[in-house]
């Protein structure tokens, strides 16, 4: 059902400073930057491995764009640090339904828009041993296609 760690999400106060740290310390480069209004973040994706087949792994650096966003609340409570882990799947709707059937609260009724055209769903951290968990279907790796697609059922 899950094929890889898609990314680790890291909350930061200053995205440009965080990007500079990861570049200078590890040599990671930004492959994508965007503002996701719905999620309330400005974000950068830094590719850690080199595959181009939808199976890559990233660090996702997250800076809040408004005070009432999940990342802003996280920073207030915890300061900067690891915010979530994201597992990759080729069918995010099917995977979310399967995990939901196992008693984990799925926070998104239907997949939402994520980084780089992906489709994403979050799971409640209190049902995941304290780890905010995201399920990700990369763009183009689909059984199900766009965010609202549900025809893929293979999990």
By CB under 6 A, name the binding residues for ligand CMX.
Answer: 9, 36, 39, 41, 60, 62, 70-71, 73-74, 77, 83-84, 107, 114-115, 120, 122, 125-126, 130, 132, 134
Q: Site for Co ion (CB under 5 A): which residue of 9, 40, 88, 94?
A: 9
Sheet holding 119-123, edge to edge: 30-36, 41-47, 58-64, 4-11, 81-88, 133-137, 119-123, 112-113
Q: Site for Co ion (CB under 5 A): which residue of 39, 60, 118, 133?
A: 60
Instruction: Identify the CA nearest to 93 among candidates 153, 140, 7, 3.
Output: 153
Task: Name the minimum Å distance from CB 137 to ligand CMX.
Answer: 13
Total residues found in the chain within this entry: 155
> Beta strands 81-88 and 133-137: pairing type?
parallel
Q: Which is nearer to ligand CMX, 6 or 143 (CB)?
A: 6
Q: Which is nearer to ligand CMX, 71 or 96 (CB)?
A: 71
């Amino acid at each position: 059902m899950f094929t890889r760690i898609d990314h680790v999400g890291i909350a930061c106060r200053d995205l440009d400073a965080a990007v500079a740290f990861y570049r200078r310390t590890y040599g990671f480069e930004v492959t994508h930057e965007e503002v996701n209004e719905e999620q309330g973040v400005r974000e950068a994706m830094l590719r850690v491995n080199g595959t181009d087949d939808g199976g890559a792994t990233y660090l996702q650096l997250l800076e809040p764009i408004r005070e009432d966003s999940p990342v802003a609340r996280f920073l207030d409570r915890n300061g900067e640090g690891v915010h979530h882990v994201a597992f990759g799947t080729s069918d995010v709707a099917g995977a979310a339904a399967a995990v939901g059937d196992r008693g984990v609260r799925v926070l998104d009724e239907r997949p939402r828009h994520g980084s780089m055209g992906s489709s994403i769903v979050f799971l409640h951290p209190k049902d995941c041993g304290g780890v905010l968990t995201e399920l990700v279907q990369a763009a183009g790796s689909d059984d199900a296609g766009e965010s609202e697609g549900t025809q893929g059922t293979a999990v």
